[in-house]
Structure 1
Amino acid sequence: MLKVSILAVLCYYWLALVPSNVPCWESFVGQDVYRLVIVDFIFCLLGSFCGEYLYNVIATRCVVKPAEFDVARNVLDLINAQTLAW
């Protein structure tokens, strides 16, 4: 829900505020979307590699049963990334 609300706020910003203040608003929105996709990709990589790696190391050393791959969360992250790319 947080990711959807971020997209809703951005769409409101782009539709309500940008066309009146920027002469070439298509380029401005395209640059913002490109910036959002790049930053989201970087944070997804950091979250996947650093966050899940550290969680797995801590779980295997402190708990007998290692952590399992969370399919649902990773699929939702992929859907969010595809939404941003479209």
Structure 2
Amino acid sequence: MLPIAQEDSFFEEYFATPQNVDFSQLCTTYNVEHILIKNWTQLEQLLSPLPSTGIRVLELKTDRKRDALWLQNNLAKLSKN
């Protein structure tokens, strides 16, 4: 992890780049299919097989802080093996 990540005020403003975008509305504007992924099973089903034509946006919402913690914990475990 970046050492600057410990400095919440600086990290949020300069590195986290939070987005305030409604992808479903953006897709509607351009008549593009939008699907908000709710679980891994749904994602797997939508990726296999991929459609051969057209555009489709699969949106996965994540929690940056929780993901960073998971990565830290698991990298530590994996590096011991």
Same fold by TM-score greater than 0.5 = no
Higher helix share: 1
Higher strand share: 2
TM-score with structure 1 length normalisation?
0.29
TM-score with structure 2 length normalisation?
0.30
